[in-house]
Amino acid sequence: MAKVTVIPSTINPITQMPINMATTKKVAAYARVSTNSDEQYTSYEAQVNYYQKFIEDRLDWEYTKVYADEGISGTSTKRRVGFNEMIKDALGGKIHLIITKSISRFARNTLDTISYVRKLKDNGIEVYFEKENLWTLDPKSELILTIMASIAQEESRSISQNVTWGKRVGFQEGKVSFAYKNFMGYKKEDDKIVIDEDQAVIVELIYRMFLVEGKTASAIAKYLKSNRIKTPNGKTFNWTTNTVTSILTNEKYKGDALLQKSYTENYLDHKMVKNNGQIPQYYVENNHPAIIERDMWELVQIELARRSKIGTQYSSSDEFASKLICEDCGGFYGKKKWHSNSKYSKFIYQCNNKFHKHKEKCHTPNLKAEDIKHKFIEAYNITMEDKERMIEDAHEVMELLTDTSKLDKDISKVNDELVMTYELVNILIKENSKTSMDLEDYNKKYQELTEKHDKLLKKQEELLKAKSLKENQAIKIKAFINNLNQSEDKLDEWNERIWMLLVESAIVYKDKKITFKLNNGEEVTV
């Protein structure tokens, strides 16, 4: 009969270290506080001191380090520098045991918790969760850890939902919060939003340069940068086109506030995404003092849309760019230099397509700046002879434009039809799932409803565009009236501000006539 002798194991299969060997473990701790407030900072300091003493009191433990993260949420490990450094050191052989207060302090994300614990376990590194009295190299720990980590994650989800709910209740009540440190023009005094007069000057300059001087966002950014004006964060002079555009389009500068422009898509990684209608938004009017007059702000939005349509053809090189139009081709006039290398050099304006290789030559004339200015002064003075009648007519037009009751009724009707069509589609799908409908019959009905839905959507889009167009025209007329009231009754010399604010376009004809189209739709030919 064979004799069997048991040879006891001498190496721990998990730690890969000799059994019963008196070894000193390299021990580290991990501490984290959720916010960076003074109160939580004290908590963080206390955790560091506590764990250092806790480790050094054990003779079989060698104190390595207390890794810590301050003011960082625990739902994801992506931005936790201290945590990530600790894992790297542990896997590099510098740590045998990690001590932390609880599972929720280690990671509130179940996947992260299990993943890192297993990765450490595979390399013989143990984690001790003090609150739960859980040692991860204990065979019984896996199930307990999974359950507890899931509870911690659910707790985090619940907290996130409560915070989100609290914010949305605040939004519904019109409570507005500002990121003052990175928002130019406003500051907080006695818990109130007030205008920062020094910064407001910069905001007004940006709006004036864009609307009155016709400058592009990139040209404004370049100007601010070259004049060493600090950006909204107050730290650099590195102005960008996006920064200027964001100031030109932010409704807060007219005293309003649109709430919930973005939202947290995933509470685990705190990723913020733009709200394109996924959740409700709240618009609060007259929430705080305005830096920019409402009419001017609205005009800027209209001008942004106008330039967007013009695209790359838009130019802000001078006051006539993108306003003078060629009768022949409909293209813009541009500034050109003649005889640049001689004493006869001069600037003239001509159609940009005049000598285009692939287009028929335009026959509209070249113009000097003085010619355009003189013609505009003449046109303006003719117009202003009937100033009162023009203002009365503009008021009547504005009243007609602001009446959108019929459009609103049509939009409401289309919306009701869309809801009904959507419900019919759902009924059809449910009916098909419960009964054995004829496939051809089902596809035919489904196709009909889909086509109807698409037509209604197109009609809805057209109606909304028509309403938006009327509203924009009304804003232009209102601004035109205000500008007209503030303008001189007669011009004796060129006035760039009046030109920029009152003239929409000017068509140049072959016989050198120019028709000036004003922002109220009126035209005068000189």
Higher pLDDT, 504 or 160: 504
Work out the pLDDT band at 422, boundaries 50, 70, 90: confident
Does 110 lie in the same domain as 185?
no
Does 520 lie in the same domain as 375?
yes
Does 216 lie in the same domain as 152?
no
**Does 405 fall in a domain?**
yes
Q: Which pair of structure tokens corresponds to residue 200?
A: 């407001």
Residue 225, burial from CB neighbour count under 10 angstroms (0-12, 13-18, 19+)? middle
- Give residue 170's pLDDT: 47
Q: Which of 63-77, 120-134, 152-166, 210-224 has the weakest average pLDDT?
A: 152-166
**Does 186 fall in a domain?**
yes
List pLDDT tens digits, range 192-244.
888 999 999 999 999 999 988 888 999 999 999 999 999 988 888 899 999 99
Strand 192-195 and strand 271-274: pairing? unpaired
Strand 282-284 and strand 257-259: pairing? antiparallel
- Give residue 499's pLDDT: 85
Which residue, chain included where needed, has tokens 């506080």? 33
Q: Which of 289-298, 307-316, 462-471 has the weakest average pLDDT?
A: 307-316
3-state secondary structure of 1: coil
Q: Which residues, 6 or more positions from 79, have their beta carbon under 8 angstroms from its beta carbon?
A: 72
Does 520 lie in the same domain as 447?
yes
Does 470 lie in the same domain as 493?
yes
Facing residues of 134 across strands? 129
List pLDDT tens digits, range 290-305.
999 887 888 888 788 8
**Does 413 fall in a domain?**
yes
Backbone angles phi, psi at 188, to 5 degrees: -110, 125
Compute the distance between CA of residue 392 and CA of residue 383 in angstroms, rounded to an integer: 14
Does 263 lie in the same domain as 158?
no
Compute the distance between CA of residue 249 and CA of residue 228 in angstroms, rounded to an integer: 23
Q: What CATH number does residue 203 fall under? A: 3.90.1750.20
- Give residue 224's pLDDT: 94
Of 165, 188, 216, the residue at which a domain comes to its end is 165
- Give residue 513's pLDDT: 93
